[in-house]
Amino acid sequence: MALDAEARKKLQVVLALGIVIAGARAAYIVYERHEAMKEDVAPKQAVPLKADYYVTPKKLHPFDLKSARELTKQPVWVKLGGQITYYPWDRTRHRAEWGHEAGTLGPLEQLAITDVATDVPPKAGGTKQVMVLFELDGKAYAAPIGVEKDGEFKIYSDDIFFIQDPRELYKHWPADVWKAIDAHQVQQGMSELQSSFALGPGVPVGSGDYGWRTLRYANDGKPLTIAFENDKAVGIKAGA
């Protein structure tokens, strides 16, 4: 059936629109591929790391009493606040008074270690404790930092102490954060590391990755539960 003039005109318009749309689509596909090639060629921008990740505290790696005595050559600061029990030290007998706990070393407490020795706790079964000796208010005390048995030493001082001032290691932290740490307090927005400096290590409550979990802190008998998101404290609750 022959098309009249009006029908032919409408068909030509439709065909023209189809050609334009097809051309536009082809051009867009070419553009997308070109941009994708540019992204592949362009160097990827690295995600900047937190300044904390660049801090590398010095370690002594002690393996016997002589190497452990390097701890006496500078002050130390307690990493594991509220975790290490210390005892009165009898200077005459060169022994700890194991039956009289004197307390626990506080978060970031600064000590001047005077010597490193070994002592045998009650019912130790031949295992000696490696002890650091120090003074508080003129009295002598000792705290365990490892064990020795049959001449073999396992010393954990690198996990217990900083041998550099943490305030210098983490001097990029804001003044208000250090003020809270010095007061043994945690405020909104503080990281897990900053919170451990203030309160000592926390114990995980339930599951969750570092920086995305809830921790419970003994806090010297005043327990706190802190929820972290993106390594920032978002919920601080008092109580067990």
Q: Give pLDDT, residue 124.
A: 77
Residue 37 reports pLDDT greater than 80: no
Structure tokens at 139: 């009295």
Residue 46 reports pLDDT greater than 70: no
Residue 139 reports pLDDT greater than 80: yes
Instruction: Indicate the helix (H) or strand (E) that contains 100.
Output: none
Neighbouring C-beta atoms of residue 59, cutoff 10 Å: 12
Q: What pLDDT digit, counting tens, does each position of 165-184 carry?
A: 999 999 999 999 999 999 99
Percent of the chain residues topping a pLDDT of 70:
79
Q: What pLDDT digit, counting tens, does each position of 9-34 carry?
A: 444 544 444 544 445 454 455 455 55
Residue 192 reports pLDDT greater than 60: yes
Residue 50 — pLDDT band, cuts 50, 70, 90? confident
Residue 47 — pLDDT band, cuts 50, 70, 90? very low
As a whole number of angstroms, the distance between CA 58 and CA 15 comes to 77
Q: Give pLDDT, residue 126.
A: 80
CA distances from 86 to 62, 81, 82, 143 (A): 20, 12, 11, 4
Please, which residues have CB within 8 angstroms of residue 151's CB and are 6 or more apart in sequence?
Answer: none
As a whole number of angstroms, the distance between CA 37 and CA 56 comes to 40
Q: Give pLDDT, residue 3.
A: 45
User: pTM of the full predicted structure?
Assistant: 0.76
Please, which residues have CB within 8 angstroms of residue 215's CB and are 6 or more apart in sequence?
Answer: 192, 195, 202, 203, 204, 205, 225, 226, 228
